[in-house]
Chain A
Amino acid sequence: MAELLRTSPLQAWTDTFARLPDPVGITAEPFVATVDVRLGTVGPEASAALGVDLPTAPNTWVPAGTGRAVWLGPDEWLLTSSTETPEEFEARVRAAVLPLGGSATDVSAQRIGLRLTGARVRDVLATGCSIDLHPRVFGRGSSAQTTLGQAGVVLLALSDAADDFLVLVRSSFAGYLADWLLDAALEFTTTPTHDR
């Protein structure tokens, strides 16, 4: 029997994304193992067990191993790993936090990431995001759970120049959000023509 093929919720958009000009780059992130971690108190013990200092400042993220640790709430984080399988990752994180009263749940397929890069992506986001994305306010390391268009998202700033963002969206909303982003980017993707 052939190996089971994986399909991404954004597979149908790959070609469209590839044709976008640099100022409004959109790419679908690859499959990434993701675990939702709940932990009441974060201290040296947790850091030692997890191998990462979970960020305690609200609305921030930090690099963590091959992935990231994103603050979701005062006792909740999203941890990603680009080298482990979801099962391995959940098992490892769960083993680390369980003795500390925490929990870990594999949510790798719950969301998919859309990487937005380019000089105009801040403008694209501003058409449907009420958060202030000015680089002085929302620089690298910032994150926010908020609404983009009509979809709930986790938004991460990956640069200090407001030109590199990661948008995590629930998989069922991925198609909507992809269409929404492409529509928002239209002003920057279409070469004006005077076809009169």
Chain B
Amino acid sequence: MTSPFRTPEGGRIDRSATVEFTFDGQVLRGHPGDTLASALLANGRHQVATSVKFGRPRGIAAAWAEDPGGLVQIEEPFPEPMLLATTVELYDGLAASGLPGQGRLADVPDSARYDAVHSHVDVLVVGAGPAGLAAALTASRSGARVALVDEQSEAGGALLGTDDELDGAPAVDWVAAAVAELAATPDVLHLQRTTAFGLYDDGFVLALERRTDHLGAAAPKHVSRQRVWRIRARSVVVATGAHERPVVFADNDRPGTMLAGAARTFLHRYGVLPGREAVVFTTNDSAYDAALDLFRAGVRVQAVVDARPEGSPQRRAECEGAGIRVLSGAVVTGTQGVERVTHALVAPFLDGEVGAGSAIACDLLLVSGGWNPAVHLFSQARGRLRYDATLGAFLPGEELDGVAVAGSAAGVPDLAGCLADGQRVARAALGVPAVPSAADDRLPTAPEPVVPTAPLVLWRVPDPSGAEGSTSFVDLQRDATVADIARAVGAGLRSIEHVKRYTTIGTAHDQGKTSGVLTSGIVAELLGVPVQDTGTTTFRPPYTPVAFAALAGRDRGRLFDPERVTALHEWHVAAGAVFEDVGQWKRPRHYPRPGEDMEAAVLRECAAARTGVGILDGSTLGKIDVQGPDAAVLLDRLYTNLMSSLKVGSVRYGVMCGVDGMVIDDGTVLRLAEDRFLVLTTTGGAAKVLDWMEEWIQTEWPDLRVHCTSVTEQWCTFPVVGPRSRDVVGAVFPGVDVSNEAFPFMTWRDTTLDGVPVRLARISFSGELAYEVYVNPWYAVAVWQRLLDAGRPHGITPYGTETMHVLRAEKGYPIIGQDTDGTVTPHDLGMAWAVSKKKPDFVGKRSFARPENHNPLRKHLVGLLPVDRQTVLPEGSQIVEYRTDGRLPAPPVPMLGHVTSSYRSAELARPFALALVKGGRERIGETVHVPVDGTLVPVEVTGSVLVDPEGARRDG
């Protein structure tokens, strides 16, 4: 079965094969090489969609991404909304439907792969039309690293849509030879189906390659469907061609209305006649080619309507020679028809006035209002545009470093000029003489261009219907009309950016490819100012829509965010740990036994650590090796307390502040030697503290003889915690005297286990007797297992971060970043004892003397005990107080502070919390209130240390 509008021969489709597809439920046929649009047109179907606001029928109005009409949704093989029928390549089994201006998101996950690739080149050429191919050939012949990207399925650009000749043969033959040459040249990356959608700083271009979309269900699953190329180019040659511009008139959105050049493309590239009877409406010479080509292909061209008073004498003669009527000084003022054009309304046009008209029957109305160079990428690179009043178009208005525009994107009108321009620009980009000397840089010879007659710049035809432009569509996708622009200007808007936002013109799927310059022209006309003063709206990436899935690439699922794990991770998994994200780390939160929820597991783990022995994987703790004769000097300057007095073999807790005196991290410091310390930071502070040290050393104290090295992952850390910990550690490390006398609190000892170095430290983050075991992660699993084996008689219980938090909070130990927020000083935490009064200076010290730091209403870290002994206060809850009369103050109720940590305590047999409360230490013993689920829970303010305030347990 042949499609009714398919030409008997010609085009670049594969007529030997048939592709079956479905549109709006109707089964249709096309050929490989078709787009959905060309296949629909071949089947006589113009209308594919309805408009977003008015529900008006909309059809295919262009042949590629500038089409404002043919929005479709792919239903099969994978649902994808908001595509243009003109850019969807046809494949077997494609099922699509027209859209009412907006699509439907898929309700099933996208199983396709998407990826990204970095590429580095000397010259990136965007666009494989005549100028781009000439530029790519020139660059590649010089030996440069070249990338050539083009958004269509095959190279050739505008040559695919004409019957132009080069060197006396079809131009597409030259295209094929050029492509073959590029393929055979090393260091040339040639990508079709690849849209350069953004041009950024320093020659950085993002391009989307549609790798398997055109294969439909046959797409291999292991190949990415789309790929974002991240191309870094020393020079970018923008050879992106030009978009034909329509003229606005009443009912110009009726299906069957099409850009003249698009009709040529459908004919020459796809072998499709977009109609049987055509009227061609133009303001310039180019549409005559469409009229003549369609005529030769068998279309009855009813009239060429040329708005120029004299038309084009030479082209007129050609038409009349073919029997085509040419009406000069005339315009199309409107259309008739229901779902398809049946008549064009044509009227004389003189000095901007429209005369009495008549209807000409047609099923195809071709329009050309001139050409807009596709300057999008140039403009994205912040290149200034200049308005060319002759062409009625914006052209690149300056030279940019590293970005050059070639061919019709730069306003070059003819084929020979485009080829020469591509070569010239490439040579400039390479820094070689503009005139080629080598014979192999010869360009093909193009036919002598016809001397053109100047075009007429015409944005819109006055609406004779009395509808005042309310059906004269400027932006078809937004259903925005001349009347809307008039309303915007009437409302006082002058800036084109404001008109865009008021009317929404240019904000749809096509980003105003056909409507943008029209709007500038119409606004200028309405305001009575030159178009160059109106300018254009800002061109922003992406040039065409890019799916979020493509931008996400492979950073999805498990690869979305790296999961950092410790050497024991597989053990934790096998032990049934429930994990918690701590930054990028996966840390066991608790280890539930069968039937336990988190609360039960944590109560059990806490009890084990307080009454028997528990063990934690604390390997994520930050660790920094600080070495050098001035190591102690550095630490004295960065910690609030004195570190230089620490004895080798001992450990000291320290607090670190910013210059503003606010706590930024805390941790313990082990003195390994006179000139060597091991600094332990919080898990989250590891990188930050190392950077902090490096920053001070490099930028302020380069004379200090000290070096800092991260050893976070050089040591695994296992706190063995609880009254029975001494038995366990003593059993595993018999060479160490673990008694209090020989190994007191806040000291460390080195030992070995089967020849492997191990460091033990009496550090406690729970208040219990505890030994931290440090070992090279290579041996972590083995040492952990030894500890578990030795602890089995004592019921050793692995515990997670939740239990760790409960244990530390019961002791009032703050977590920097949870119980503090960057506005909390050591004094606010009740840690004045950790602030040296002896040191003349340290980072943060001067700020402690600021008056605000002596404000008695600063927030202090305190404990809270809900009076009902039941409620676990949600962390982040606000704290309020009743007035003396027992009522709440009037809203807004003053906030005293907030809950920073809150848990249920096995030891206390009740919930408790830590909180930052204004003047909190003065309020100990008072009752304040915390709103929870709409009720006010009374809580008692206490000191922050709720378990073992005397510190009796740390020695066992």
Contact = CB atoms under 8 A, between A and B. Distances in A.
Interface in A69-106: 86-87, 101-106
Contacts of A19: none
B190 interface: no
Contacts of B563: 175-176
A24 B117 CA distance: 16
Nearest to A175: B565
Given A87-B757, A129-B118, A184-B115, A38 B564 contact: no
Interface in B550-573: 554-555, 558-559, 561-567, 569-570
Most buried by A among B566, B709, B779, B781: B709
B779 A4 contact: yes
B101 to A, nearest CB: 35
Nearest to B631: A103
Contact of B776 (A8, A102, A108, A170): A108
A106 B714 contact: yes
B554 A183 contact: yes
B120 interface: yes
B628 interface: yes
Mostly, the B contact residues are mixed
Interface string B710-722: 1111110000000
A66 interface: no
A107 B705 contact: no
Contacts of A172: 564-566, 585, 713
Contacts of A86: 776
B315 to A, nearest CB: 51
Interface string A132-145: 10100100000000
B564 A173 contact: yes
Contacts of B709: 36, 38, 103, 105, 107
Contact of A192 (B222, B567, B779, B780): B222
A130 B118 contact: yes
Interface in B599-639: 625, 627-628
B115 A109 contact: no
A108 B559 CA distance: 26
A184 B713 contact: no
A184 B224 CA distance: 10
Nearest to B223: A187
B119 interface: yes
A73 to B, nearest CB: 10
A196 B755 CA distance: 59
Contacts of A3: 754
Contacts of B931: none
B337 interface: no
Contacts of A9: 565, 567, 777
B756 interface: yes
Given A105-B627, A180-B559, A126 B565 contact: no
Contacts of A179: 558-559
A122 B711 CA distance: 30
Interface in B214-258: 217-218, 220, 222-224, 230, 232
A7 B627 contact: no
Contacts of B627: 38, 103-105
A101 B627 CA distance: 10
A30 B469 CA distance: 76
Contacts of A102: 707
A178 B755 CA distance: 31
B117 A126 contact: yes
Interface in B740-755: 753-755
A32 B217 CA distance: 48
Given A5-B781, A127-B554, A132-B120, A183 B714 contact: no
A118 interface: no
A12 interface: yes
B17 to A, nearest CB: 17
A12 B781 CA distance: 14
A180 B554 contact: yes
Contact of A150 (B232, B561, B757): B561
Contacts of A63: none
A104 B776 CA distance: 17
Given A108-B776, A110-B714, A173-B564, A4 B119 contact: no
A45 B743 CA distance: 42
Nearest to B120: A132
Most buried by B among A109, A111, A170, A193: A109
Contact of A103 (B217, B707, B712): B707
Interface in A167-193: 170-173, 175-177, 179-180, 183-184, 186-187, 189-190, 192-193
A48 interface: no
Contacts of B628: 101, 103
A176 B564 contact: yes
A1 to B, nearest CB: 6
Contact of A176 (B562, B705, B712, B782): B562
B701 interface: no
B559 A149 contact: yes
Contacts of B753: 4
A7 B567 contact: yes
Nearest to A35: B709
Contacts of A177: 562
A184 B781 CA distance: 30
A131 B713 CA distance: 26
Contacts of B564: 170, 172-173, 176
B783 interface: yes
A87 B754 CA distance: 15
Contacts of B715: 109
A187 B567 contact: no
A23 interface: no
A144 B536 CA distance: 43
B561 A7 contact: no
A192 B221 CA distance: 8
B145 A130 contact: no
Nearest to A188: B222
A86 to B, nearest CB: 7
B945 to A, nearest CB: 34
B63 interface: no
Given A173-B562, A180-B554, A192-B222, A130 B217 contact: no
A180 B554 CA distance: 8
B778 interface: yes
Contacts of A149: 554, 559, 562
B116 interface: yes
A108 B585 contact: no
A110 B711 contact: yes
Most buried by A among B223, B713, B715: B713
Contacts of B705: 101
Nearest to B561: A150
A105 B628 CA distance: 11
A129 B232 CA distance: 12
A38 B892 CA distance: 57
B212 to A, nearest CB: 11
A150 B562 contact: yes
Interface of B: 113, 115-120, 145, 187, 217-218, 220, 222-224, 230, 232, 554-555, 558-559, 561-567, 569-570, 585, 625, 627-628, 705, 707, 709-715, 753-757, 776-783
- Shortest 4 CB-CB distances between A and B: which pairs? A190-B222, A172-B564, A38-B707, A103-B627
Given A4-B783, A9-B777, A190-B220, 7 more contacts: A31-B778, A36-B709, A107-B709, A110-B710, A176-B562, A177-B562, A190-B222
26 contacts: A3-B754, A4-B756, A4-B782, A6-B782, A7-B782, A9-B567, A101-B705, A102-B707, A103-B707, A107-B709, A107-B714, A109-B715, A109-B777, A127-B117, A131-B118, A134-B120, A134-B187, A149-B554, A172-B713, A175-B565, A176-B563, A183-B559, A184-B554, A186-B222, A189-B222, A196-B217
Interface of A: 1, 3-9, 12, 31, 36, 38, 86-87, 101-111, 123, 126-132, 134, 137, 149-151, 170-173, 175-177, 179-180, 183-184, 186-187, 189-190, 192-194, 196
